[in-house]
Structure 1
């Protein structure tokens, strides 16, 4: 499942400043320089994230295996890594999804963004933040009243 290279984004002064000053809006300058010197592109996913490994699959002597990493397009959100690429990044497979005939399993769910801290966040039954009234439970408190 190979995707074409993501379109180049327009570089503005704001984009340059954010790349320089923050890590959550994409790769920092140091990461981009290190990647350009020591990394080779392996492929892209449907979100426009770019996956890299050390040039030629060179084994890192400190780790004992090749380094693999991702540069996210836009916000750095780890949950935006598709299952096939996740397995490759974590050395569960040797071939990236672009080089093999990867087919997602029936139990693999599609990507959903992390909604924590937003109004759309999951609220379990009984949560004070959930709409409606809380259902009674067997452990509810009954105040003591003198006889």
Structure 2
């Protein structure tokens, strides 16, 4: 979290609606230069006045954001692997990039391990007495 003065300054620059959206998704208010938009509609921003490591960020286009929505070329820019954004570089898609796999944690498609051994401990089942 940032200081109250910094937060108020950022709210004035990005507007109240966008500031509330940022607080909901990233837990902070930020403003910066729009660097580019990827094929998924995600917007990438940069502000060199921020603390090191927090000067580049993404605002997801989807309501349910997942880190797998970030394209590989933009990931390299966000992680500071390359200094120029993909809009200024000529990057061709590589065959090994493929499509991102969504995160299925907490859904029916979540990975569950399979075990052939019997559990050593059985679950506790309470005995309920009838009411009197």
Given the two structures, how large is their TM-score scaled by the length of structure 1?
Answer: 0.54
**How many residue pairs end up in the alignment?**
99
Correspondence for 1:11: none
What SS does structure 2 have at the residue aligned with 1:51?
strand
Measured on the aligned residues, the alpha-carbon RMSD in Å equals: 3.0
Gaps of 5+ in 2: 1-16, 119-132
CA distance in structure 1 between the aligned counterparts of 2:38 and 2:59, rounded to whole angstroms:
11
- 1:79, distance to aligned residue in structure 2 (A): 2.1
TM-score, scaled relative to structure 2: 0.59
Q: Gapped runs of 5+ residues in structure 1?
A: 1-15, 128-133, 135-139, 142-147
1:90 to 63, 79, 85: 79
- Is residue 39 of structure 2 the alignment partner of residue 46 of structure 1? yes
Partner SS, residue 23 of structure 1: helix
Moved over 4 A (4+): 19-22
| Distance verdict in 2 for CA 1:59–1:115, change over 3 Å | same
Secondary structure of the residue aligned to 1:88 is helix
Q: Deviations over 1:13-71 (max 9, x none)?
A: xxx6xx469624xx66x52xx31xxx0101111211100011xxx465x52x7811111
